[in-house]
Amino acid sequence: MVELVRVVGVDPGTKSFDFCGLEDIRVFYEKSIPSEAIAKSPDILLDVLKEAEPLDMIAGPSGYGLPLISLEDLTEEHISLMVLVRKEDVKIPVLVGLAEAVRHLKRSTLKVYFLPGVIHLPTVPEYRKFNTIDMGTADKLCCAALAIHDYSSRYKVPYEECTFILVEVGFGYNAIVAIESGKVVDGIGGTKAGPGFLTSGAWDGEVAYLAGSISKADLFKGGVRSFVGDDSMMPEDFLERAKKDKRATLAWEAFMEGIEKCVWSLRAVVKKPQAIMLSGRLSRIPGIYDELEKRLSAIAPVDRVQGFAKNVKEAAQGAALIADGLAGGKMSELVERMEIRRSYGTVLDYVYVSNIKEKYP
């Protein structure tokens, strides 16, 4: 019997932590807090969640993801695997905030579960995971959950008839996720995709070799802003800048074609996508959406994930849906279809090019 539950989903984004509260799949709570604020005051996370109580379940901020695990079973090793930062490395606000905020949560009695990333899912064949970590972080999996629910609801089809490619165009990173019959079967995460607004995306192996040592900060730069040479440029200004500035024009082409090539590459996995679904902050900017629609419509009809909340990102909404399903609510069928409870392993299990597994965490 389906229960009426009250839950919150958390998205630890590059720019902000977003919180989406659902009661019987109706939004009762929305909040967005700058990631830097949580890095400075990790207790904010706990304060916000207590503000939304009473709660049956919380889908906590999960970073790169973990096989589904409760707060009470979470260890320091798990936290390390969430953020993947070497001890001697620079401090990135969103990652510092995530790790410290989760440590503060450990002092509470809240019912929190941490969610898998794409690589943890049994629906992704193991041969697709070789020498890969970032097939899509936990927040990208949450975006996929929202996209599946959205497509099923709006087109009146069961989850098993949802087959499409999701393009998540975020402030920092882009990610592409392949969905076949309502299950995530492959993904290209932000550090493997084409250039994002902040990140360079995939690194050429020779560039990485010549760099000698790569810090976590390097994974947050090298994208559109770096190429244009203006760290203050906002996504909403990208198109106008590209019309009059040569470097911005080149960045625009690299950004758009990078997404286009990733989507085409996943056609090898999803042979007949019903749609290309767009989500993420940049997809809501008209000029960017229009360009992606023009480029990607040759593959399949392009649509936007609509969601149901007004003020928080898609990942927080998807996390709330997953929390509802885990708590026995109306989204139980979605969680079972995506096989989230059967997630397993670590993000390091399939790396064979170095001794990373021996050194980390």
Residue-wise pLDDT tens digits, 47-83: 999 999 999 999 999 999 999 999 999 999 999 999 9
Instruction: Name the H helices within the chain.
Output: 35-40, 43-51, 76-83, 93-105, 138-155, 205-211, 224-228, 238-244, 246-265, 286-296, 314-326, 332-338, 356-359
Buried b vs exposed e over 13-33: b needs ≥16 C-beta within 10 Å? bbbbbbbbbbbebebebbbbb
Of 88-97, 166-175, 270-279, the one with minimum mean pLDDT is 88-97
Section 204-229 average pLDDT: 92
Spell out the domains of the chain, with CATH numbers in brackets: 6-359 (3.30.420.40)
Section 335-350 average pLDDT: 97
User: Nearest-CA neighbor of 346 among 118, 132, 67, 71?
Assistant: 67
Query: For residue 96, what pLDDT is reported?
Result: 79
Question: 183 pLDDT exceeds 90?
Answer: yes
Section 2-26 average pLDDT: 92
The pTM is what? 0.95
- pLDDT grade for 360, boundaries at 50, 70 and 90: low
Angle between helices 246-265 and 286-296 (to 10 degrees): 50
Q: Any idea which residue has 């940049």 for tokens?
A: 282
Q: What is the DSSP letter of 330?
A: T
Question: 359 pLDDT exceeds 80?
Answer: no
User: Nearest-CA neighbor of 239 among 248, 229, 231, 227?
Assistant: 248
Of 31-40, 62-71, 243-252, the one with minimum mean pLDDT is 31-40
Section 154-181 average pLDDT: 97
User: Nearest-CA neighbor of 283 among 182, 157, 171, 180?
Assistant: 171
| Angle 99-338-55 from CA coordinates, rounded to 5° | 50
Please give the share of the chain, as a percent, with pLDDT higher than 90: 86
Question: 357 pLDDT exceeds 80?
Answer: no
- pLDDT grade for 90, boundaries at 50, 70 and 90: low
